[in-house]
Every structure is written in C-alpha cells, then in structure tokens.
Structure 1
Amino acid sequence: MNQSSNSSSQPTLKRIVGLPGAIALGLGSMIGTGIYVSLGLGAYHAQYLTPIAVILAGLLALCNALSSAQLAAAHPIAGGTYQYARIYLHPFLGLLAGILFLTAKSASASAASLAFANNFIRLINHYTTLNLPSITPTILGLLAIIALTIVILTGLRRSNQFNITLILLVLASLLTFIIACMIYLADSPTSPPQSALAQEPLKNSYQSLFPAAALIFVAYTGYGRIATMGEEITQPKRNIPLAVIFTVLLTAILYTTIAYLALKIATPDDFYKAAVSGTALEQISSQLPKPNLLITIIALGAILATLTVLLNLILGLSRVVFAMARNHHLPQPFSLLNQQHNPTFAIILVAIIILLLTTLGSIKTAWSLSALTVLIYYGLTNLSALQLPKQHRLYPRIFSILGLLGCFTLSFFIEPIYWLVFLAIFILTTFWHLLTKAHLQRPDQT
C-alpha cells in the first residue's frame, strides 16, 4: 500500500477528474434508481400532484446543492459534510454527518442493487420461460455489488470512462420512453386514469406533497458525490459549483417530465406498486405501442442506470470512509491507498456494508431509511454553509436557510419507525465520538 503524503504526512487523493467527469459523477448518481423507485413511492402520497412534489424536492435539492458547492469549493477535500461540519460546527456533528451519510447512501446502494436485479429478472422472464426462485433478486444484487467493487478497485480513471458510457446509454433509453409516451398520448384521451388510492382525501390534498417530496428528494442527492469526491476534481472552485448546478437542473427537468407522462398513462397505485420492485417504467411501457421493443429498451436502461448509481455510491461512500479514517474516526488501514491511488480497504468496507443491507431484500425500507438520514445530513450541510466566512461565500445565505428549513421540515414526514433508527445512530455516534475524541484532528477553517 502507498501512503502518499501532503504537508501533514497524511495520504491524499489525486486530482484527475475534470468538469465532464464531475458532471458524470453527479448524473450517474442522480439519473438512476430515483426514476424507477422514488417517483412511484411519491405517487402513493401525492397522487396526480406528484410532478409538483418532484419540483418541490428539486428546489430543495438546488438550495442544498448550492450550499454543498460553495463548501466543496472552499474545502475541496474528500468527505463532504463529514468534513464541513467538523470545521464549522463541532467534531461530534461532523462524525454524525459521516455516519448518516454512510447509512443513507448504503441504503440507497442496496435499493439500487435490488432494482437492478428486479429489472434484469423481468427482462429475462419477458424473453424466456425461466421460473427463477424468489431469492434470485437478492443474489443478483449481491453479485452486482461485488462486480462493481472490482471495477472500482482497478482505478478511478477507468471507472469514470465506464460511468460516462453508462450515463449516455441511460439517457438514450429515457428519451425513448418520453418520446413513446408523448406519441401515445397524442393519439389517446388525455384524462388521467382513475386510482383506487384517489379515494383517500388526504392523498389528494396539497399536504400530501410533503411526504412525497421527502421520498423523491433522495433521488436528487447524487450531487453529493461531487462534493464528497472534491479532493479528486481539478480546478475545484470552478468545476464543483458548475457540475453541481448543471446536474440538479437537468435531473429536475427529466424527473418532472417522466412523472407527468407516467401518471397520464398509469394510475398512481399501479405506479407505486411497480416502484416497490424498481420496475415502474417497464410496467408502464407494457401499455404503450410496440411494447416488446420498448420494454427491452427501458429494461436495459434501468439495468444500466441502477448499475451506474451503484458504481457512484460505492465511490462516494469509500471517500467518506477514507476521510474518517484519515481523521482517526475509523481504523487507520481504511486511509491506506493502493498503487492506483485508491483507498482499497475503504472500498471493500463499503461493499461489505451494502452487501449486508441488500440481504434484507426490501427496496421501500431501504429508500425510506435513506430519506430520513439524508435529509438530516443535508440539514447539517446547510448549517455548515451558514458559517462560511464571507470570502468563501459564493451565493446568498438565503439558499442555505431555505435548505436548512426544508430538510428538517420534510424529515418529520418520514414514518416514525425510521426515527427510532436515527435515535440508535445518534446514541452510537455519541459513544463513538467519546472513544475517538483523544485522537480527533479538527481541520483548519482557512
């Protein structure tokens, strides 16, 4: 193992990711599982108001993205809010942010692996008569995690090239879906189908936008990969803000369009039921002209999208583990770098955590846990951004204030059971902080 050092004799990561690569990291983490999972989960609550919930979540994501961008530009080091909260808030809150990030994104990665498996199985069943056992999605999800971990261990540059290729293919499949829906609706009645869920008054009110937005927000948080990998991005003061803003705006347009079209064709309850397995767009495609060809294109796009998200999540999570180990919050071996300048042990630890969560086999549970923990995490991001010195501030403070209020407000619309999980995380973090306090290294604000 190689421990390249900076002036503090700590291992550092190489800056090898330019603006296109940074955008690819963000898009690869945002345009993926969220389309096949979160939009349908949001439709359970917001019904035909789901596109509004998508926009609401997108506005919150933009506020958070601006906070993340200026923090990452001021401190382009691996770790994201784990580092920023340590610098501007308190070492304990930094540790809490790091553990929340690992929890949230490991859960998202688990959901991505299961969505990949379900889409793959649906495609196989569409063309064959195989009767795969019910445990197969979990097994396939585990294999996907192992395979992508090997890809990442071969070197970040190769992973980035692989990532950009996947993103272009995914965008092509989604554009195909959008065009097919528009052609179908042009020749069909535009009144939305009736939903059984629509009989419940609460789910048709604007109050239902908040739980929907809370779940959909998770799908936007891929811009965090750009911040957590800030130590590897060239010209960070320029490239990080540009990449973050571009990815959020493009994703918001894409998500809103797909949510609107999907609910013109399918009922919200059908959309929700399909989203629980991560196969929402495939099932909607079966109602469109030339379904066999379209299902194939959408299924392949879903497979590639979920693999792309999984790839980027493993990358981002490993950098947070690396940063935590470098600051003595985790054992030092996790900060060691290999000859390709990758944190090998950190990557392997992340893969093991995701593998364990995937064995639970529930996309909805993983997504809901991710929603609560990531909302609290980005609340800490905005709180950190509010403490930025004037010379490092790129955008008005109002964006961070709105982001802070939005994150903590939406978090209270997540089911109470997940707050019990957060309470357990908080207690464990408190004990861990006390154990590691003697070795804590608090970075400089300058």
Structure 2
Amino acid sequence: MNQDLIPSSLSDLYNNMVAGFSVQFENLVELIVTPGWRQHQLVIIVVLWALAFLLKLITQGRWEAWARSRTGWPKWRLRTLVQLMQRLTLVYFVVMSWALYLLMQHITWPSRSYIIGVVATLALAWLAIALVARLVRNRTLRRIFKWAMWVYATLIALNLTDDVAEFLDGVAISIGDLHISALGIIKAVLLIGILLTLARIGTRAAERGLMSNDDITPSMQVLLAKGIQVLLYGAVFMAAIRTLGFDLTGIALLSGAIGVGIGFGLQKVVSNLISGIIILMDRSIKPGDVISLGDTFGWINALGARYVSVVTRDGREYLIPNEDLITNQVVNWSHSDKFVRLDLEFGTSYDDDPHNVRATAIRAVKSVTRVLSGGKHEPVCHITGFGDNSVDYVLRFWISDPTKGLTNIRGNVYLALWDAFQSEGISIPFPQREVRLLSDAATQQVAKE
C-alpha cells in the first residue's frame, strides 16, 4: 500500500471521508441532471413504483382471502405472511425492479441500468431488514437494528463502506496492546445483537423440542433447556469479549480474584442456584406437581434458576426460593403418582345404627364426581371412637386430580353426607348444656357449705 495514501491524523481521515462522500454525491447529481439514460432510469423507477402500488390495489383482496385460508400453517409462517401483506407495494416493486434490471443488463449497456440496480438493491435490503427485525422483541432495540442495517445497506449500495470504515477505524483509543476503535465497537454491537437473537431463537427451538419429547422427564427437560441456554449465551459473551479485543487470560485472572470477593455477598444466590440444579437432577418436584409448603398449597408452574413458581387456587403466584424446597419439609401430592387420599371426620348420634351410618356415608361419597371407587381406591368408613356427644367416624376416599383443589372436594363430600343423612334420618349431634335453677332453700344450703 502506498504510504502517501495512509492518513496521518484523525483530521486527515475525516477529510478523506468527506471527499469520498463528495465524489459520490457529485456522481449522483450528475446522474440525475445529465440528459439521457440517467433521467430515463429515474422515470422508469417512478413508473415501477406506480405499477407496484396499482398492483397492490388490484390484488390485495385476493391475497387477503388466500392468507385467511392458510389455517394449517405454523405461526412463524403466518407472521411472515402478514408482514409481507403489509408491505405489498414494496414486494411488487422489488420483484419488478430486479426483473427489469437483470433484463437490461443482458440487452443493453450496464450503465443504462446502474441507477435501477442501486434502487433495487436498496429496496430489497429494506424489505429483508424489515422482516428480520421482527425477530427482535424489544421495540427500542428493533428500531436501532433497523436504522443501523438500513444505513449499512445504503453505504454498500453507494460504494461508501471503505471510506466510512476507514474513518471509524481511525477514531480509537489504545491502552497498551489493547486497541479499541469506533469501527470495532460497532462491529461488536452488531455481532452481539445477531448472536443474541440467534441464541434466543435456538434456546426456544431447543425448549420446544425437549418439551415435545415424552421420553424425557419434565425435570430433565427443564435442566437440559437451562444448560443449552447457559452454553449459548456463554458463547455469545465470549465472542463479544474476543471481538472487542480483550485478552481472555487477563480476564480469567481478574474474574478469579473478583469472584472470591463477590462469592461472600452472593451466598444465597449461589445456594439457590445449586439447589435448583439439585432439584432438577433428583426430580423431586417437576412442573405440574401439586405441593404444600407451610401454608402455601398449589401446583408448580415453572422451575427457575433461583426460585420455583407455585400457583395457588386463588390465582396467586408464589416465587419460592429453591433453597427452601431443599431444607424444608415439602408435601408433594403427585410425586410418585397422581392419586391422593383424603380423610373426613364426622360424628352421629348414639341413637343411629352405626352400620347404617357407614353404608350411607359410603353411598354418599361415591355420588361425588371426582371421588374414585373400585379396587384399592374404594371409599371406606370406620368408627374411631365414642365421644362425649357422638359416635365418631372417619371417611376415607381417593381422588386423582389434586390440581383441581382439595377444599372444594371436601366441601362437596360434606354436602353429600348432609343430604344423605337428612334422607336417612341420621342426626349429627352438637354439644349441649343444661342450666339448673336452684330454690331459695337450696341456695342458702349451698352458701352455708
């Protein structure tokens, strides 16, 4: 490379970039104002855009009717179709401009289709960027991505990338062997954005694949999904560090020293993280299980790296730290199987036949829809003792759907017992007290005593 062409300062870089832009702008102005095929190309571009808009008006109804009939398509394909429908004019323009450009490249001089090629390239780039940007969920990041990619595509179409890259590379700071330039930062940001998007897409695809595999237990599905997520995002982090030019050896030594200090302040976080890994590996609980922890009763909605989400019957979602599930006693109503036995205690009068009471109670509990019967799940009723006011019984029955609630099934069984006892004439006693009124002589006798 000629040493005379190498800029010696940032000012020279700026002047070179401005000169490059000026040359390109003068060429563009000359293309527009000079009579001949240059102006003809501009007219052709305007006509193509008008035709594209006209085609949109004519065919939009048919395209919408065809799109509504695509009921069996996956969601990502339907979303892409909706995006194309919203940019139908641009789609028609891209197709017609590229077809005309390729045709003119073969039948006439290339200079007579140069402007059409530039505009066709920009239109295709804008369409592609608009579609790809939908993968970025964050609205602010999506706008930044759109504008950055549109500027980059415009520079490529106008052949200004080398001048701009040279200028941005000159805007830099150097610390020892570390050289960080504006161009390097922009490349790193774009690379990180693309890799993060790909990592998110890959993580979700892996989760869907794991969740659809019935041969893998739910806890292992969550563990594998978390492992894939850590690997992908860890690879993105390492790539970002290397792109910025940092030395990973120095970072490893520094992170080791800092990690010792931070570890003391993050004991609970690390404890919850390790507890979460243990829970996933020993499969003691899994999504969908019904658990009781203290006063909290509900089913597990999700297993996280730091906590477990438990949803109760009243719609509340409790975030229970993983450490609490390891150190405290947890009742898992559906750990080994989905069957749960419930016990109800009640009492009847001494005047009622115990044999009739037991038979009536079993018939009543069998009439409740969620109660199981037959085999080892047959309801039973036993006498548990003779109380002060009643004969005490316990009614035991089984259900297979604890996620639908326990209090409501108990209430339904109590109501069925009440109706059955009313029809059989069986009474449910309650404590009674007698109040005796003493005569005056008896009162005086008590006072003397």
Q: TM-score when scaled to structure 1?
A: 0.24
Higher RCO (Cα < 8 Å, 6 or more apart):
1
Which structure features the higher share of helix residues?
1
Output the TM-score relative to the length of structure 2.
0.24
Q: Which has the higher strand share?
A: 2
